[in-house]
Structure 1
Amino acid sequence: MDWMAWTWPTAAFFIIIGCTLTVFTVLAIKFPETPRKGVLQIETTRGDRLFITLLGSAFINLAWLGLVGANQPYALIVCFAYALAVFRWV
């Protein structure tokens, strides 16, 4: 890990993202899906909803950091709730 001066949390983040993309690829191959319309009235697939979730979670964490500044793990709870809502209703 010294070659880029990464911390273990940073490496874990990218490992989890890589594993998530791998799982979604396998799911797309084994269980093809048709796009569905949700609350936003746009057609989305699993991958689209994953992208919306990751992008929204980044903004949630930035806003949390700017407004609260501490207790960042609580932002993770908000991100999980947001992810559940996106995968359920978007």
Structure 2
Amino acid sequence: MDWMAWTWPTAIFFMVIASLLITFTILAIKFPETPRTGILRIETTRGDRLFITLLGSAFINLAWLGLVGANQPYALIVCLIYAAAVFRWV
């Protein structure tokens, strides 16, 4: 795996994504959910909202990197606020 230039931040990123997927799978099995309709006027489940959150967070981080620069930890704060909003209202 040396050819991929794995670093600890990269490994942690993929471990967090994997743990989120495992957690949401366990939640779906233990606590089945009926889809709900939010401000987007489409039916979404927990998994849908997770996908929307991850996709939006990627765009937030890319925009932050392009507009602000290297202060990425502050982008994490914006992403957490965005995630809370998605899981609350979408």
TM-score (norm 2): 0.96
Deviation above 6 Å: which 4+ runs of structure 1?
none
What stretches of structure 1 of length at least 5 have no aligned partner? none
> In the alignment, which residue of structure 1 is the partner of 2:47?
47
Letter in 1 for 2:42: I
* Residue 3 of structure 1, CA deviation: 5.4
Letter in 2 for 1:17: I
What stretches of structure 2 of length at least 5 have no aligned partner? none
TM-score (norm 1): 0.96
Residues 53-72 of structure 1 mapped to structure 2, 5 A cutoff: 53-72=53-72
Percentage identity across paired residues of the two chains = 83
Aligned length: 90
* Residue 70 of structure 1, CA deviation: 2.0
> In the alignment, which residue of structure 2 is the partner of 1:8?
8
Are positions 1:22 and 2:1 aligned together? no
Give the alignment's Cα RMSD to 1 decimal. 1.0
